[in-house]
Amino acid sequence: MQQNDVKKISLKISLFIFVFILGLAIAYYFNWKDVDTEGSNEVNAILSQSNHAFFDPVLPDTQLNFPKDFGEHSNFQHEKWMMTVNAVDQEGNSIGIQWTIFRISSDDRETRGWLDPRLYIAKLIITTKNGKWVGERLARGGIGQAGVTQRPYRMWIDDWQWSSFGRNPFPGLLSAASDDFSLKLSINSNDKPIPLGDKGYSRKHDLIPVASYEYIFPFLTVRGNLTLDNRAYTISGKAILEHEWASGFLDEYEQGRDWFIINLDRKRKLLIAQYRHKDQAPYRYGALLYKNGDYSLLTENDFTLQTLPARQLKNGRKLPLQWIINAPSYNLNLTTQVVRNEQWLDTLIPYWQGPITTTGSHQVTGFMQLTGY
């Protein structure tokens, strides 16, 4: 009798485990089957190369030249300056800030005034655990509404501006305001910029000639004041500034990009990027960035990038918001978590971007950007 009872209990346990595993498998499948990884990429129409204009190509073995390359490169169709900030307020609460300016040229002709072909798009996103604040500006070049100068360094769009006293962006002051927020940040760096890729030539595919020129300031210090919904904060933190230019950031068959910057410790930061292409394996690369200006390039043989089940946002999109990054040779084993799920930006250039934290070998902060979902 007891033996039969034991068999019944074992059968029930086995059945429970089977149903549990089956449930997980079904949940995983339905989480992933609706993730749009093969549809059209909304960003392509804006950042792909034009077939009707002739801009300078991005070529290898081209030496970056500073301070000249801090400025604008109008011979190329696209340009981007992006800063991400992981900061804390006076009470120790985390605040994420992302500031970006895109410069897009619709024509290769050098015309002035209202015929200037340059369009500038700026966005500023402030994130706390309780919400996000988004501001956006759109302006055209040639009429004083937006632009970049180097004597002294100044980048502006309407009343948003980054300014410094010399040809170098640092020390710089970033100021911006909207109806819901305002900020004034002092940004400094004691380090030289680090060229990404091969001395600044950053490839996006093994076979297709899609590349950009790119460098990064990975160890910026930020201090300043911030107002959110009429409440004032004093903040300080660490940041990166990435500057990239090309004649087409994306290939027409590129599906999207997954990008991570992680603050490993006071002397190292990890950059990981994945470019997803239709009907092809993704192109992956990375870099370990060191405070002394050195860097170690990472190929897809040096690390793995694994997604965990996707999450559905309130707008219906499904995105992989949690990732596992392993780089065994560097003793890195990281699992990312987002501060907030609802970081999709319904802006002129739409994507998900927001602050993250990690567990595993390092319990640290960072930023993540996902496009093409």
Percent of the chain residues topping a pLDDT of 90:
69
3-state secondary structure labels for all residues of 314-328: CCCCEECCCEEEEEH
C-alpha to C-alpha distance for 38 and 256, rounded to whole angstroms: 9
Mean pLDDT of 28-49: 48
Length of the chain: 373
Hey, what are 191's tokens?
């380090």
> Which residues lie closer than 8 Å to 156 by C-beta, 6 or more apart?
146, 147, 162, 163
Residue in 249, 198, 217, 203 with CA at minimum distance from that of residue 64: 198
The pLDDT assigned to 33 comes to 41
Contacts of 68 (CB under 8 A, 6+ apart): 150
pLDDT tens per residue, range 279-316: 788 999 999 999 999 999 999 999 999 999 999 999 99
What integer pLDDT is reported at residue 115 of this predicted model?
Answer: 77
Q: Is the pLDDT of residue 32 over 50?
A: no
R_g of the chain computed on alpha carbons: 23
More confident residue, 209 or 16: 209
- pLDDT tier at 252 (50, 70, 90 boundaries)? low
What single DSSP character describes residue 270?
A: E
Q: Which residues pair with 84 in a beta bridge?
A: 98, 240
Q: Is 26 left (phi over 0), alpha (psi -120 to 50) or beta?
A: alpha
Distance CA 281, CA 259 (A): 16
pLDDT digits (tens, 9 = 90+) for 309-360: 999 999 999 999 999 999 999 999 999 999 999 999 999 889 999 999 999 9
The arithmetic mean of pLDDT across residues 241-259, rounded, is 84
Q: What is the pLDDT of residue 250?
A: 66
pLDDT at 22 over 60: no
| Confidence bin at 46 (pLDDT 50/70/90) | low
68-82 average pLDDT score: 94
Q: Which residue has the higher pLDDT, 85 or 52?
A: 85
Give the residue extent of every domain in the chain. 34-370
- Rounded distance, CA 104 to CA 101, Å? 10
Looking at residue 15, its pLDDT comes to: 45
Report the alpha-carbon distance of residue 303 to residue 311 in Å, rounded. Answer: 24
| CATH label, 34-370, candidates 2.40.30.110, 3.40.50.2300, 2.40.370.10, 2.40.30.10 | 2.40.370.10
**pLDDT, the chain, mean:** 86
